[in-house]
A and B are shown apart, each in its own frame.
Chain A
Amino acid sequence: GQNIDQPTEMTATEGAIVQINCTYQTSGFNGLFWYQQHAGEAPTFLSYNVLDGLEEKGRFSSFLSRSKGYSYLLLKELQMKDSASYLCAVRDQALGYSTLTFGKGTMLLVSP
């Protein structure tokens, strides 16, 4: 099976930088995704890593270390609208199909 761990909640202030960590255990790793989900809304795609290293996209960056089973999402210049749940998801092709397994999400609260 798979196990994905991320912190339940984090708080930060507007303009700051926050790092949300995710650790995973999987037998057929084939990519890690980060999604943002505002309350009552659908998750939206933020980033994707399949090779080790850092992927940067504007204020958001995501890092992956496959050997450590570890990823983080870095949010810079935080804005109030960044208050949301951030979901780490892993794609596992060990069983011959390509579906995503999600962590429980990290609720980020950005305060003024």
Chain B
Amino acid sequence: EADIYQTPRYLVIGTGKKITLECSQTMGHDKMYWYQQDPGMELHLIHYSYGVNSTEKGDLSSESTVSRIRTEHFPLTLESARPSHTSQYLCASSETHVEPYGYTFGSGTRLTVV
């Protein structure tokens, strides 16, 4: 049973639309992450958060933004979607005080911008 939830699972949207990908976790994890993954390619970190009101950009340049107003919620927003944003977006969270601090991933949102 998943403890980290992403919605929607699939999304097809037109160019120029604003979209928000939702991610929520019920494990009380302080750290949360957004990764982008294209088919057959590695996961690229686009945003992360170490706690409420903490957000940082990752290694991959992204036109998206994130917010962390509550511990359990870490939404990702695209102000104006473009076809280049077509990809799978994976949200993850991790333990702070218990080794090995591994990630728990959500099921992902597969985004197609037409």
Contacts and interface: CB of A to CB of B under 8 A. Distances in A.
Interface stretch (A13-21, A63-71, A73-81, A95-103): A95-103
Given A42-B108, A99-B48, A102-B43, A48 B100 contact: yes
B69 to A, nearest CB: 21
B74 interface: no
A7 interface: no
A65 B43 CA distance: 24
A43 B58 contact: no
Contacts, number: 55
Contacts of A8: 40
Interface of A: 4, 8, 31, 33, 35, 40-45, 48, 50, 87, 91, 97-105, 107
20 contacts: A31-B101, A33-B102, A33-B103, A35-B103, A40-B110, A41-B108, A43-B90, A43-B105, A45-B104, A48-B99, A50-B100, A98-B31, A98-B94, A99-B33, A101-B45, A101-B59, A102-B42, A104-B40, A104-B41, A104-B42
